[in-house]
Amino acid sequence: MRYVYILLRLILGGMMLYGGVQKFSKPIPEPLQVVETAQKFTDPDKKNTLQKVLYISGAKQTGYFWQVLGVCELLFGLLLLLQGTSLIGALFLLPITLHIFLFHLFLERDEPLELFQTAGLFAINIALVLKERRRWKPLLWLPW
């Protein structure tokens, strides 16, 4: 069972490192480019695509959020891969993997494979946190 959790850590940590690197691989579009792209999807049939474009472009246009998310994915993914800091990495990644899953659930329902993949990453993250519950349970004062 120990090797299964190591494999799960490698999968989740690797995906987060990959996602973090991808945040910095493309230049941030100019605001006018975002408007031009969004105007291509004004047809009511393309509402989901428009929502995705506006959401991701908005995160990029803040000038900090997209980069902070990338740095967090890189840092927490690295913490997860290191044995001594894997619990901290898993705990810090929990809201990020939840956000990624909810993004796909609400904005990319038309991509069932990606939804399944992100649900799997979130489930792996939960499993890694629950595996170490004996270490963090005293912080919550819960009887289980």
Domain boundary assignment for the chain: 2-28+63-137
Q: Would you state the pLDDT for residue 137? A: 79
The whole-angstrom separation of Cα 141 and Cα 78 is 29
**pLDDT at residue 23 tops 80:** yes
Q: Would you state the pLDDT for residue 136? A: 83
**Tens-place pLDDT, residues 62-91:** 999 999 999 999 999 999 999 899 999 999
Q: Would you state the pLDDT for residue 143? A: 67
Q: Would you state the pLDDT for residue 142? A: 66
Query: Which CA distances in Å does 67 have to 12, 72, 86, 107?
Result: 20, 9, 23, 21
The whole-angstrom separation of Cα 23 and Cα 70 is 5
